[in-house]
Amino acid sequence: MDAMKVIAMLLAIWGFLSYIYQHYLDDLKSKENRMAIKFLGLPERIQKLISKMIFEINL
C-alpha cells in the first residue's frame, strides 16, 4: 500500500508541474507575440486588436 501512495504522489506532483510549465510556456509565447507586434511599428490601438486576435486563435 505504501508503494501505491508514493506512485500516486509522484504522478500528482508530475501533473502539477506539467500544468505550471504549460502556463509558463503560454505566457512566454504571448510575450513573444506582443513583442513581435510592437516591432511592426503599428499604432497601439491596432497592436491591441492584433494581440487579441492572436490570443483568441491560440485558445
**Structural domain count, the chain:** 1
Domain contains 20: no
pLDDT of residue 37: 66
Residues 6+ apart with CB under 8 A from 26: 58
Q: For residue 30, is it within any domain?
A: yes
Kindly report the pTM of this predicted structure. Answer: 0.55
Q: How high is the pLDDT of residue 12? A: 96
In a domain, 2, yes or no: no
Range of the domain at 57: 25-59
Residue 41 φ/ψ region, left for φ over 0, alpha for ψ in the -120 to 50 degree band, beta for the rest: left
pLDDT given for residue 13 in this prediction: 96
| Per-residue pLDDT tens digits of the chain, which is 59 residues long | 699 999 999 999 999 999 999 999 888 887 777 777 666 667 777 777 877 777 676 55
Percent helix, strand, coil in the chain, to 5, is: 90, 0, 10
Residue 47 is assigned to a structural domain of this protein: yes
Q: Is residue 10 part of a domain?
A: no
Domain annotation covers residue 31: yes
